[in-house]
Amino acid sequence: MSQNKVLSGIEEYKKMTPKSLEFSKTSKEVMPGGVTANIKFFEPYPLIMKKGSGAYLTDLDGNEYIDYLLSYGALMTGHGHPKVLEGIRNQLEEEGTLLFGTPHHLEVKMGQKIKELYPSIEKMRYTNSGTEATLLSIRMAYAYTEKYKIAKFEGHYHGGYDQVLLSVNPSVNEAGPAKRPNAIAESKGVDPYHKEHTVILPFNDLEATTEILTKHKDEIAAVILEPIQGGFIPAEQEFMDGLRVITEKLGILLIFDEVKTGFRLGLGGAQEIYGITPDLTTLGKVVGGGFPVGIIGGKKEIMEMSAPTAASDVFDNSQSKKSGAKDVLFHSGTYNGHPTILAAGLATIDVLEEEIQHVFKSTEQLKSGICDLFSQKGINVQTIGMGSIFNIIITEKENVHNYRDLQESNFALRKEIDYHLLTKGVYTKPLNRYSLSTVHGMKEIDKTLEAFKLTLNKLF
């Protein structure tokens, strides 16, 4: 780094965001840590936004940022896209309510669209979040295979509940051998039972994965994975092909958690790119158009287990109850298939059908611009990712395949750069990945690259 005394990124950040600091003090009186989702926190206090418009966010101090966090990838048409707002307004005005509490046409319309884009999804159900979708996928796998363990990959996130909140971001000291990772709880209060019932696999290592799955084949119901780890480290094609073959051979279901990658890698998600047919798929984020949503879908014979017509379920109070609730796979929820949310999601898909290629093009331009700027300074950087998501990894490693490789990258420098970028109007949560939207154009890319240039000139 330059010998000249430069303000650290965090000091500069504090200088320009006094109102966020003040707000954080008050919000801490109301919510633990001042946040209602731990992911929203970063040191020394998170930025508090007050307005969004297109590709931009404005914070409490009036600073404007190009938004690359996009609500952790959920907003793929940017903030307040007119067509999405119109879809929401039309649903409310024409249908007169936010909620019917009955089946309705948008559930079917979205379902048909999903089936068209994701041919592996023969039938589907709606949930209120990605978390609920993966949770249900695990119950489906248990029920279908009558086995009661699951396998997940180290470094992969599927939601915040006990079965999967293991080895998402473990300390390498505790994580055990790379080829036989330990199950490490990622929260207080995780029932130790799950450390025994969730098997941890090494991503992109087909040989070790095959060995572990073979050993536990009679207990493991399903392998769940992010086809692109964290949204940016792609599975190798050979690994993916091998995983599909071995799971099928061993009678283990394959669940693609496409909550991040759905629509963002292509309209048909990672499964379209890899040419893989998973048994079950979970979707979320983009498909809610900014509202909370989840979808789980897949093979008909698996999904049909949840049909209440198959047998009596927990809500059947009739005297003539044919069978016990245990004969149906229970799935319900007051807000499942919320009309306004589906209207926003359908409008989002409409926009993406026209404009997704533009998003990919802008993403590639930004990635290559960033690489050029780093290489001019002689810093080894990789902009890893596919479609409309990537991350900036400062590393000497030629290839970053998985969680362990990622741990060897220079997080400290990346973080320093991220704080400087915040002060120059480029927003992502420090260390987080970049996601783009249909409204990120050349103007935004140029401004962003200028901010990178100024930052790197300051530091080197």
91 closest CA partner among 108, 104, 76, 78: 104
The residue type of 182 is N
Residue 127 interacts with ligand PMP (CB under 6 A): yes or no: no
In the three-class reduction of DSSP (H, G, I as helix; E, B as strand; rest coil), residue 361 is classed as helix
Compute how many residues bind ligand PMP; rule: CB under 6 A. Answer: 13
For residue 152, what are the β-bridge partners? 200, 224
Annotated catalytic residue within 147, 149, 285, 367: 285
Annotated catalytic residue within 257, 313, 405, 418: 257
Helix and strand numbers, DSSP H then E, in the chain: 14, 16
Minimal distance in Å, beta carbon 294 to ligand PMP?
A: 6
The answer to whether 257 is a known catalytic residue is: yes
Considering only the C-alpha atoms of the chain, give the largest distance between any 2 of them, rounded to a whole number of Å: 82
The answer to whether 118 is a known catalytic residue is: no
Neighbours of 312 (CB within 10 A): 19
Subset of residues 148 to 207 that bind ligand PMP, contact rule: CB under 6 A: 157-159
Minimal distance in Å, beta carbon 454 to ligand PMP?
A: 31
Among 63, 77, 120, 134, binds ligand PMP (CB under 6 A): 134
Minimal distance in Å, beta carbon 409 to ligand PMP?
A: 20
The burial of 458, by beta-carbon neighbours within 10 Å (0-12 exposed, 13-18 middle, 19 or more buried), is given as middle
Write each residue from 245 to 264 as x if it is in contact with ligand PMP (CB under 6 A), else as -, in one continuous string.
Answer: ------------x-xx----
Interface region with ligand PMP, contact rule CB under 6 A, candidates 53-61, 127-135, 378-386, 449-457: 127-135
The answer to whether 419 is a known catalytic residue is: no
Annotated catalytic residue within 142, 157, 427, 434: 157
Write each residue from 211 to 230 as x if it is in contact with ligand PMP (CB under 6 A), else as -, in one continuous string.
Answer: ---------------x----
State the Cα angle at 281 between 280 and 282, rounded to 5°: 130
Minimal distance in Å, beta carbon 270 to ligand PMP?
A: 11
Subset of residues 265 to 324 that bind ligand PMP, contact rule: CB under 6 A: 284
Instruction: Provide the Cα torsion 233, 386, 427, 348; round to 10°.
Output: -130
Subset of residues 65 to 94 that bind ligand PMP, contact rule: CB under 6 A: 72
256 closest CA partner among 231, 208, 224: 224
The burial of 443, by beta-carbon neighbours within 10 Å (0-12 exposed, 13-18 middle, 19 or more buried), is given as exposed
Minimal distance in Å, beta carbon 332 to ligand PMP?
A: 18
Nearer to ligand PMP, 388 or 448 (CB): 388
**Cβ distance 209 to 246 under 8 Å?**
yes
Q: Which residues bind ligand PMP (CB under 6 A)?
A: 72, 129-131, 134, 157-159, 226, 257, 259-260, 284
Active site residues: 157, 257, 285
